[in-house]
Amino acid sequence: MESSTIDSKQHLPAEASAKEGGVGRMRKLPKAWTTSTVGYLADSIQYGHTAKSSKTEVGPRFLRITDIQDNNVDWSSVPFCPIPKNQIPKYRLDKGDLLFARTGATVGKSFLIQSEIPESVFASYLIRVRVTKAIESRYLYYFFQSSDYWQQISDSSSGIGQPNVNGKKLAAITLPIAPLPEQRRIVARIEELFSRLDAGVAALRQAKAQLQRYRQSVLAAAVTGQLTQAWREQHPDTEPAEELLKRILKQRRENWNGKGKYKEPVEPNEAFEQNPPSNWQMASMDSLTCHITSGSRDWTKYYTDDGYAVFVMAQNVRPLKFDSTPVIRVSPPDGDRDKVRSAVAQNDLLVTIVGANTGNVCRVDRSFEDYYVCQSVALLRPVESATAMYLDLYMNSEEHGQDQFDKWMYGQGRPHLSFDQLRSTAVFLPPLAEQHQIVAEVEARTTAIDHLEAELDRQITRSNRLRQSTLASAFRGRLVRSQTESLTT
């Protein structure tokens, strides 16, 4: 069992060879600089307290990995810890403490306490580092954001099943050390440049949010007829949706393959404040589909890397996009009754009905052989495949399809949608010719939106590269003027 405190002084001395660890990649450092290890620079490297958290105020706040989000902690939401009073000083957090995630999805990420906080202790899956007076804690913190640090973390975790950072690995991390006054000037310069980058990224993210709002406004205009109002005026003789619905219902009856005798479709259960255009029709999703089902829970026992079939999971269903990249392979037995009813075909509509992404909808845009939905994904097959693209837009519109799903979701912590709720989803159904026009106009607008979003993403990626470039310059002595301009190997 690991002890709660690491003997940090048993690691490399203050002038560790520049060939050691990640610092070996830094060919030249200013003459007044040296290299060292986290262990040598730390007064203590300590694991946190092992206990269960409590929502009741039974002691100090109890900081866990999950409480650190986007390099920030909402201390008012951090739970409490029933720790004995005589143990509090050992685990109490103070300004200047550096904390590290030992394991999990955020392994290696660090957090610096930079201001006064409520009385708090830290949990066992965090490591706390307290540094000596020879190092500015913010200098060390910014090194922990650099690519050199992350490379060392990656190297130390390679070849193990569950990546982790323990105290010894952390203590062995090597880094370049500037004289203390220069550390402070470096930190000030990093924060100045990062502040500008942060402002730029915030503006880019705001622009992306505006594009998303515009995307939804396009969908709202599309599924209420506003987008094609001029088109309708130019095409007054278009066959009304009432005739389209009659044909769909006739085909639905003729091709019925459900259980027992034919079942009439359920009525739509949503009353909207606005009415659709006069030649549109209100219909239920049940009346427009011939098949609503989901897959088998039992197939999980057939998972295999070399399976011939693909199990379509919730992560494959993204709004307006079927993502075939995440692949879970299965080899279900021949003759399994779920194989026929859960097989995916082109123009099927998929809806996530369980979990965090409940309500995600996409259309299957091409044929996939031996793809089958799992139990958390509903498959809806339109009677008339030509309506699938419009129905995909409709069910993804926030004010119509998504709003209905939001009202119906049930289950605390793990939302669900039922087949009955999907069947009774109310749809504004346009004439088929107008559906094609709607799809074309939405695609034209969203293509432009996609290009703009891609450019914004490129700018955000560029800012992240600039951030890493700034850190690389900082820890090579090139960000601020050194006390000496001469360089040495």
User: Are residue 378 and residue 270 in the same domain, yes or no?
Assistant: yes
Q: How many angstroms separate the CA atoms of 288 and 389, rounded? A: 13
Tokens 């079927």 appear where?
322
Q: How many angstroms separate the CA atoms of 380 and 347, rounded? A: 9
Q: Cβ–Cβ contacts within 10 Å for residue 213, how many?
A: 11
Domain assignment of residue 226, yes or no? no
Cα–chain center distance at 376: 19
Q: How many angstroms separate the CA atoms of 383 and 397, rounded? A: 21
Contact 260, 218 (CB under 8 A): no
Bridge pairing between strands 5-6 and 120-122? unpaired
Q: Return the amino acid letter for 413.
A: G
Domain assignment of residue 292, yes or no? yes
Mean pLDDT over 307-335 rounds to 91
226 token code pair: 């506003």
Element containing residue 344 per DSSP (H, E): none
Mean pLDDT over 268-285 rounds to 88
Q: Which domain holds residue 26?
A: 5-177
Q: Cβ–Cβ contacts within 10 Å for residue 6, how many?
A: 23
What pLDDT score does 27 carry?
Answer: 56
Q: Return the amino acid letter for 323.
A: D
Domain assignment of residue 193, yes or no? no
What pLDDT score does 180 carry?
Answer: 95
Domain boundary among 156, 177, 198: 177
What pLDDT score does 488 carry?
Answer: 42
Q: What radius of gyration do the chain's Cα atoms show?
A: 30
User: Are residue 159 and residue 274 in the same domain, yes or no?
Assistant: no
Q: Where are the alpha helices (DSSP H) in 372-487?
A: 388-396, 403-408, 419-423, 432-474
Q: Greater confidence, 343 or 339?
A: 343
Domain boundary among 385, 401, 430: 430
Contact 276, 225 (CB under 8 A): yes
- Dihedral angle sign, alpha carbons of residues 277, 440, 244, 341: negative
Element containing residue 291 per DSSP (H, E): strand 289-294
Q: How many angstroms separate the CA atoms of 31 and 8, rounded? A: 26
On the question of pLDDT at 210 being above 50, the answer is yes
Q: Return the amino acid letter for 283.
A: A
Confidence of residue 319 (pLDDT cuts 50, 70, 90): very high
Confidence of residue 129 (pLDDT cuts 50, 70, 90): very high
User: Are residue 19 and residue 162 in the same domain, yes or no?
Assistant: yes
User: Are residue 402 and residue 254 in the same domain, yes or no?
Assistant: yes
Domain assignment of residue 324, yes or no? yes
User: Are residue 265 and residue 339 in the same domain, yes or no?
Assistant: yes
Percent of the chain with pLDDT over 70: 90
Domain assignment of residue 368, yes or no? yes
Domain assignment of residue 370, yes or no? yes
Q: Work out the burial of residue 47: count CB atoms within 10 Å of its CB; fewer than 13 is exposed, 13-18 middle, 19 or more buried.
A: buried
Q: What are the residues facing 315 on neighbouring strands?
A: none
User: Are residue 382 and residue 269 in the same domain, yes or no?
Assistant: yes
Q: Cβ–Cβ contacts within 10 Å for residue 185, how many?
A: 17
On the question of pLDDT at 81 being above 60, the answer is yes
Confidence of residue 394 (pLDDT cuts 50, 70, 90): very high
329 token code pair: 């392979």
What pLDDT score does 339 carry?
Answer: 77
Confidence of residue 429 (pLDDT cuts 50, 70, 90): very high
71 token code pair: 């390099």
Domain boundary among 177, 212, 230: 177
What pLDDT score does 464 carry?
Answer: 94
Strands, E, within 87-220: which ranges? 98-101, 110-112, 120-122, 126-131, 174-177
94: closest CA among 134, 60, 51, 50? 60
User: Are residue 144 and residue 268 in the same domain, yes or no?
Assistant: no
Contact 99, 128 (CB under 8 A): yes
Non-local (6+) Cβ contacts of 283 within 8 A are: 245, 268, 426, 427, 429
Domain assignment of residue 385, yes or no? yes
Q: How many angstroms separate the CA atoms of 82 and 79, rounded? A: 10
User: Are residue 265 and residue 130 in the same domain, yes or no?
Assistant: no
Contact 308, 331 (CB under 8 A): yes
User: Are residue 257 and residue 395 in the same domain, yes or no?
Assistant: yes
**239-260: pLDDT as tens digits:** 999 999 999 999 999 988 767 7
User: Are residue 243 and residue 144 in the same domain, yes or no?
Assistant: no
User: What is the tally of structural domains in the chain?
Assistant: 2
DSSP character for 174?
Answer: E
User: Are residue 282 and residue 426 in the same domain, yes or no?
Assistant: yes
**pLDDT averaged over the chain?**
90
On the question of pLDDT at 4 being above 90, the answer is no
Distances (CA, A) of 218 to 30, 222, 382, 445: 57, 6, 23, 8
Bridge pairing between strands 61-63 and 120-122? parallel
Domain assignment of residue 272, yes or no? yes
Q: How far apart are the first and last CA of the chain?
A: 41
Q: How many angstroms separate the CA atoms of 150 and 105, rounded? A: 14
On the question of pLDDT at 467 being above 80, the answer is yes
Name all contacts of 346-349 with Cβ < 8 Å and 24+ positions apart: 346/385, 347/381, 347/382, 347/385, 347/388, 348/379, 348/380, 348/381, 348/388, 349/289, 349/379, 349/380, 349/381, 349/382, 349/388, 349/391, 349/392, 349/395
User: Are residue 135 and residue 284 in the same domain, yes or no?
Assistant: no
CATH code of the domain covering residue 395? 3.90.220.20
